[in-house]
Amino acid sequence: MQIQLNESQWAVFEALLEVPSGLTISQIVSRSGVDHPMAMATLQYGSEHDWLVISELKREELIPTEEAPEILKRGLPERRILSVMAERGTVPMRELAQLAKEREIPMNEIIKWGSLRKWVKKSGGDLSLTDAGRAALQERTEDEKALELVLGSEKVFLDDLEKEGICPEDVRPFLSGRPALVKLKPRTVRSAVITDIGREVLKGDVLILKERNVLTSEDITSGGWREIHLRAYDVTLEADQVYPAKIHPMQKIIQQTRQAFLEMGFTEIVSPQVESAFWDFDALFQPQDHPARDMQDTFYLERPHQASLPEEDVVERVKRTHENGGDTGSTGWGYSWDRGRARQVVLRTHTTATTIRALSRDPNPPRKVFCVGKVYRNESISYKHLPEFFQVDGVVVDEAASLSTLLGTLSEFYHKMGFAKVKFKPAFFPYTEPSVEVFVYMESRKNWIEMGGSGVFRPEVTRPFGCRVPVLAWGLGLDRLAMMRYGITDIRDLYWSDLDKIREVPLCR
């Protein structure tokens, strides 16, 4: 019996006939030159006629990040510290943290992965190198070999590693938890193999039709139209996807944040992103020798090199507070305050610079103000850090304000942003006391996520500006909130310029 196939269908079946053991879908597409949807439709047609069998295999693909080659070239954090540890054997944690900072090695990575590999062990306040750690100085680990293989190949699945003498299960624990290096993405690999029935039918009487969507003038004048079969139009097929207009996901979070605080009776304020060190640090009672003011943490501007300071009486009160506590009841920091350092120009490191400016202009209660804006830190770019990001800061100035008022205000904000569970943990910040960190519960991860810091401004912050009532303050990250809302694991994806990705973001989430 004769069967009729179009050219694309025959190309797919012909590719399978050439390889008795079968092919994956990607191999069929590559060999036949037929696009994926047509290849799948043809395979489904063949399966329905028992000409072939389609099978599925669950696999995990190893996908390296853009940073992986550089990280591997420099050495994994736990490996880079081995040479330091080998010289000393045991190093105090505080000293090791300083050494790691100088070498730009994440301390938490050293502890986490060094302990998991059993290269190091903690004892009291020290970290010691183990025998396994000394042995690791001379040999690469299985996961390092796997990473080199992944970087040198177009596509590698976890089970492919066995062919290279690497045990996948030995590698998995050291790669699955390192999104900055590699991602393990589940894949369903489909394959097809011709059956005996299919081989008999396809090697029999087959008529290959030339199918076209339209006839050309050449087809008509040459008489070739007699051999062409016009494809039927299937009106049940899906039409092109239509996307509604929408704002950028990050901008949507900013607008929802503004709306939440405005609904709670707050007034929005703004201030420049280029700020003086006086408002960014000194006005918040941060000492002038604090590590956060170093160039490795803060961006300083060359032009303009200096900023103007506020009224002399305000500057004098802040100066006295730093040096001896002024009239705050504090002893201050006990150093000679430098006016020149206060005039340095920085890209603001937090929007608290905005709220302290607002407090200085009007310290009289009752007041509730907030600011949403971009801030800058000298961070290395990674999947969880950028040198610029968004914060929301706010203050409540009220005679009856208390820590419970602060907790209630922030709980209400996060409830408005869609989080049912909010909790707080005691913390330390230079300019608030008491201080708490804010956590929200993320249902999809079944975990608590830290969102920012808050507390009651210390008298050393408020009294130089004439405020003698409690001032509640907070600084919360919005990028992390956006990542949680939209299920984003890489912070860089928040700043998409990819219109297709933006179109696919759900309007409601």
pLDDT tens digit at each of 509 positions of the chain: 788 888 888 999 999 999 989 999 999 999 999 999 889 999 999 999 999 999 999 989 999 988 889 888 888 988 888 888 888 888 888 888 888 888 888 888 888 888 898 998 988 788 898 899 889 888 888 988 999 898 888 888 898 898 889 988 888 888 888 888 888 898 888 999 999 999 999 998 887 877 777 888 888 898 878 777 787 777 887 777 888 888 888 888 999 999 999 999 999 998 889 999 999 999 999 999 888 888 778 899 988 889 999 999 999 999 999 999 988 989 999 999 999 999 999 999 999 999 999 999 999 999 999 999 999 988 878 777 888 999 999 999 999 999 999 999 999 999 999 888 999 999 988 889 999 999 999 887 788 989 999 999 999 999 999 999 999 999 999 988 888 888 787 888 888 777 777 777 776 65
* 3-state percent breakdown (helix, strand, coil) of the chain, nearest 5: 40, 25, 35
Architecture of the domain defined by 3-63+188-230: Orthogonal Bundle (1.10)
User: Cis (ω within 30 of 0) for the bond into 506?
Assistant: no
Residue ranges per structural domain of the chain: 3-63+188-230, 68-169, 249-273+348-504
Q: Which CATH number fits domain 249-273+348-504: 3.40.50.300, 1.10.40.50, 3.30.930.10, 3.40.47.10?
A: 3.30.930.10
| 365 DSSP assignment | S
Q: Identify the pLDDT of residue 469.
A: 94
| 303 DSSP assignment | S
Tell me if 3-63+188-230 shares its fold with 68-169. yes
Q: What is the token pair recorded at 481?
A: 């909130």
Q: Let me know the angle formed at the C-alpha of 150 by 145 and 153, rounded to the nearest 5 degrees.
A: 125
Q: Which CATH number fits domain 68-169: 3.90.1690, 2.160.20, 1.10.10, 1.10.260?
A: 1.10.10
Sheet of 126-129, strands arranged across: 90-92, 126-129, 120-123
Q: Identify the pLDDT of residue 509.
A: 57
CB of 461 within 8 A of CB of 285? yes
432-466 pLDDT tens trace: 999 999 999 988 778 898 999 999 999 999 999 99
Q: What is the token pair recorded at 274?
A: 């280029």
Q: Identify the pLDDT of residue 508.
A: 62
386-396 pLDDT tens trace: 889 999 999 99
CA distance 202 to 20: 13
CB of 18 within 8 A of CB of 167? no
Sheet of 267-268, strands arranged across: 267-268, 367-376, 388-397, 471-477, 447-457, 432-442, 422-429
CA distance 367 to 230: 75
